[in-house]
């Protein structure tokens, strides 16, 4: 244990130790109720014009290069389950993987090869991204699974939801809905208005072909 503590505080591992400590502090504040789960969920919100639903349909209404870039980014986010699970869940797994691989790599190879930490940085990031994908995979379905008791998505039409990713005409956003003692993460669109994050919206229609809900501000 003491050796692990010393490794964690060594200069080559200290940045990842600090990152992991900040993540643990975040979850501690969530558990005691100081922060909400979507606090610091800025990465997904920063790409609000991209569909980050688990079953991404790369059907952006943008034309030309903008549509290609939006579709490519949506594919990357979907590949890493960002949107299918809250961003901070994915980021927490990423921080844990970065720390673990850094500790192990520098423990076994750092003392033998000078400059190993610098050379291992890019491989560490790549391995950690894949590890975070695998670690979040079990949680993927739990955030978007419909009611086990048989609630259909059409049953959510007419309900109120909270917008968690800003949505504008022609773009995809996300919203949360609590119904029948369950929480759902929904893919939403609007017709003519922009609804910022945190606002309440009314679900007025469900499109089964593209699997999104049409909403309007309330």
Strands 182-189 and 212-217: parallel
For 89-132, write each residue's pLDDT tens digit. 889 999 999 999 999 888 888 765 667 778 888 999 999 999 99
For 171-211, write each residue's pLDDT tens digit. 888 899 887 677 788 889 998 899 998 999 999 998 887 88
| CA terminus-to-terminus distance, the chain | 55
pLDDT value at residue 151:
53
What does each C-alpha distance from 117 to 63, 124, 127 come to in angstroms? Answer: 43, 9, 14
For 48-97, write each residue's pLDDT tens digit. 333 334 343 334 444 444 444 545 666 777 788 776 777 888 899 999 99
| 0.75 surpassed by pTM | no
């Amino acid at each position: 244990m003491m050796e692990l503590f010393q490794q964690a505080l060594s200069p080559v591992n200290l940045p990842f130790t600090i990152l992991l400590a900040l993540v643990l502090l975040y979850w501690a504040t969530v558990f005691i109720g100081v922060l909400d789960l979507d606090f610091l969920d800025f990465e997904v919100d920063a790409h609000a014009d991209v569909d980050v639903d688990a079953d991404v349909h790369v059907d952006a209404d943008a034309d030309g290069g903008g549509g290609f870039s939006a579709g490519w980014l949506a594919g990357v986010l979907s590949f890493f389950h960002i949107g299918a699970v809250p961003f901070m869940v994915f980021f927490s797994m990423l921080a844990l993987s970065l720390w673990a691989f850094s500790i192990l790599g520098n423990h076994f190879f750092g003392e033998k090869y000078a400059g190993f930490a610098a050379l291992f940085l890019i491989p560490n990031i790549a391995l950690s991204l894949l590890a975070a994908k695998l670690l979040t995979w079990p949680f993927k379905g739990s955030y978007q699974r419909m009611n086990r008791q048989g609630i259909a998505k059409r049953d959510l039409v007419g309900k109120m939801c909270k917008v968690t990713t800003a949505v504008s005409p022609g773009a995809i956003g996300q919203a949360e809905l609590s119904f029948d003692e369950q929480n759902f993460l929904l893919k939403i669109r609007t017709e003519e208005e922009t609804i910022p994050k945190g606002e309440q919206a009314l679900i007025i229609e469900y499109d089964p072909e593209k699997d999104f809900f049409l909403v309007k501000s309330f």
